Structure 1
Amino acid sequence: MAIITLTTDFGLKDHFVGVLKGSIYTELPEATIVDISHGISPFNIQECAYILQNSYHNFPKGSIHIVGVDSEATPENKHIAVLVDGHYFVSANTGVIGLITSEMKPEKVVELNLPERIQGSFPVMSVFIRVACHIARGGTLEVVGKSFTDLKTLREFSPRMAEDGTKITGSVIYIDNYGNVVTNIRKSFFDSYGKDREFELHARSKKIKKIHSSYSGIVDFNGAADKQKNDGDLLALFNSSGYLELAIYRSNLDTVGGASTLLGLEYRDTIIIDFFN
């Protein structure tokens, strides 16, 4: 039986997550359900896309991922199911799947068209779970939908390079539990334009001239202990997902603070990298 994952902005205070799981078990008592996150900021598609992109591939091929963020169907946001990279995604066409399909071509995309469809205010339960359970039982996408070609993409995930090749303009796309600031600048993008040139990264009033390979890379463990970098020092690195991240070494939002609070950076704020020839 395929794994069914849940990614929502429902939180854990209300009954919604429990209702979803109960509905799945009612249809498929043998189902395996995994929570990816229920702490997505309300209606934050970019945050959801980032978390989903960096988690789905750790599951077995054939897994089914239900996306419950901004899930109400509208003329602009059709309900869809997508098969890409061997995984199924059931979502509204908000662009959340576009981050994955921007790197690989989907094998199949359908607009959901269930018989006896129930229109209501909780489509994740009335539509997405029905589709996920159908797929988990071995059903095909053609039975629950018709071919669809108008997948949305998220422009916020595309940094810009100046025409003269001297500047990358990126933006903040995610702030994690440690207050680390994730930008939309991928390592591949940085390397292709940087070409080993010296650079200066500008984040508010701070300037960074080196990108580390790990959080502890900022520490000189061979130096005297009193001259080593300490908790609270700012660094930049490409995180495990390949995105440029600004972090505070051994950050703690209750003590030394995080990069987001200390730099005053929020979602969609600008990050600039200047290259020097």
Structure 2
Amino acid sequence: MAIITLTTDFGTKDHFVAVLKGALLTEVPTTTIVDISHSISPFNIHECAYLLKNSYKAFPKGSIHIIGIDAEWSPENEHIVVLVDGHYFISANNGVISLVTSEKPPEKIMAINLPNGEISSFPTQDIFVPVAAHLARGGQPEVVCTPFDELKELRDFKPRIENNGNTIIGNVIYIDNYGNVVTNIERSTFDAYRNGRTFEITARRQRIKAIQKSYNGIVDYNKEKNQRKGPGDLLALFNAAGYLELAIYKSDLNTVGGVSTLIGLQYRDIITINFDA
């Protein structure tokens, strides 16, 4: 039984997600459809790439991933199928796949070439669904694709290293449901430049000098409750995906707020780590 995932910026108010699922089930009634997210910020390629990279590995090899972000065809935004790590990704060539291929080189990169394919205002349905259905039925991608070798990259995704390796300058790439902010600074980068040194993380006017292993790592349970850090306090940790994250312990955007609201951090804002020289 084929597994097809959907990642889009369509939201859930409109009919678009239901149309995709209905079209897929009409083509391949036995397929399993899984929603990764439909709440990507509109046209936010970096946000989509972050979610996709950290979710696709949970699915079995052979899974098919439809990406409905900035999907209208143009000579600079071709429709492609990429086989990476045993998974098929169907997307526009807008850079979203490059984060996945930064760790795993692609096994195949192909341009979609449907016999009756036409330019459409809804290519996720009109182009991506038929290709996904073809693959789900066991078809070979070469039947609906042609060779392609110009995979677009997200060139501004990596943090900058400055000051002779004493400073890492990163950016906010994702804000989660709790208002926690995820940066593009990975644990491997931090460890490579730290070399046992003390450090300070700067986010606007906030300074953090410790990285926790868990969200409740800031709580010293040996202290009386009124003397502890706890809900509402700022912390830093490397999240399950290995990226530096800034969080408010037990945050809630609907009540007390989160880092994005209390500190004022938004997408692409700068986060700096300075190591003692």
TM-score bucket of the superposed structures, by smaller chain: over 0.9
Q: 2 CA distance for matches of 1:114 and 1:254?
A: 46
Indicate if the aligned counterparts of 1:248 and 1:258 stay in contact, CA closer than 8 A: yes
Q: 2 CA distance for matches of 1:25 and 1:254?
A: 36
Q: Which amino acid aligns with 1:90?
A: I
Structure 2: 5+ residue stretches without partners? none
Deviation at 1:229, TM superposition (A): 1.1
SS of 2:126's partner is helix
Deviation at 1:147, TM superposition (A): 1.3
Q: Which amino acid aligns with 2:62?
A: G
SS of 1:20's partner is helix
Q: For residues 116-140 of structure 1, give each alpha carbon's deviation from its aligned partner in whole angstroms, at most 9, with x where no partner exists.
A: 1132101011100000011111111
Match of 1:224 in 2: 224
Match of 1:10 in 2: 10
Indicate if the aligned counterparts of 1:231 and 1:256 stay in contact, CA closer than 8 A: no
Indicate if the aligned counterparts of 1:90 and 1:132 stay in contact, CA closer than 8 A: yes
**Structure 2 counterparts to residues 63-212 of structure 1, below 5 A:** 63-212=63-212
Q: Which amino acid aligns with 2:242?
A: G
Q: 2 CA distance for matches of 1:69 and 1:120?
A: 14
Indicate if the aligned counterparts of 2:4 and 2:65 stay in contact, CA closer than 8 A: yes
Q: Which amino acid aligns with 1:193?
A: Y
Runs of at least 4 residues off by over 4 Å: none
Match of 1:35 in 2: 35
Match of 1:268 in 2: 268
State the number of aligned residues: 277
- The reply to whether residue 239 of structure 1 matches residue 266 of structure 2 is no
Q: Which amino acid aligns with 2:121?
A: S
Q: Which amino acid aligns with 1:252?
A: D
Q: Which amino acid aligns with 1:213?
A: K
Q: 1 CA distance for matches of 2:122 and 2:256?
A: 41
Q: 2 CA distance for matches of 1:4 and 1:38?
A: 14
TM-score, length-scaled by structure 2: 0.98
Indicate if the aligned counterparts of 2:2 and 2:30 stay in contact, CA closer than 8 A: no
SS of 2:91's partner is strand
SS of 1:164's partner is helix
Q: Which amino acid aligns with 2:201?
A: L
Indicate if the aligned counterparts of 1:46 and 1:156 stay in contact, CA closer than 8 A: no
Indicate if the aligned counterparts of 1:6 and 1:65 stay in contact, CA closer than 8 A: yes
Deviation at 1:163, TM superposition (A): 4.8
Q: Which amino acid aligns with 1:102?
A: S
Q: 2 CA distance for matches of 1:240 and 1:155?
A: 24
Q: 2 CA distance for matches of 1:169 and 1:25?
A: 46
Q: 2 CA distance for matches of 1:219 and 1:266?
A: 26
Deviation at 1:84, TM superposition (A): 0.3
Q: 1 CA distance for matches of 2:173 and 2:258?
A: 16
Indicate if the aligned counterparts of 1:77 and 1:94 stay in contact, CA closer than 8 A: yes
Structure 1: 5+ residue stretches without partners? none
Q: For residues 162-184 of structure 1, give each alpha carbon's deviation from its aligned partner in whole angstroms, at most 9, with x where no partner exists.
A: 15111101001010110001000
SS of 1:157's partner is coil
Q: 1 CA distance for matches of 2:233 and 2:117?
A: 55
Q: Which amino acid aligns with 1:49?
A: A
Q: Which amino acid aligns with 2:96?
A: V
Q: For residues 83-129 of structure 1, give each alpha carbon's deviation from its aligned partner in whole angstroms, at most 9, with x where no partner exists.
A: 00110000000111100001111111101111011321010111000
Indicate if the aligned counterparts of 2:218 and 2:230 stay in contact, CA closer than 8 A: no
Q: 1 CA distance for matches of 2:224 and 2:120?
A: 64
Q: 1 CA distance for matches of 2:85 and 2:220?
A: 41
Q: Which amino acid aligns with 2:125?
A: M
Q: Which amino acid aligns with 1:54?
A: N
TM-score, length-scaled by structure 1: 0.98
Indicate if the aligned counterparts of 2:73 and 2:119 stay in contact, CA closer than 8 A: no
SS of 2:5's partner is strand
Deviation at 1:156, TM superposition (A): 3.2
Deviation at 1:155, TM superposition (A): 2.5
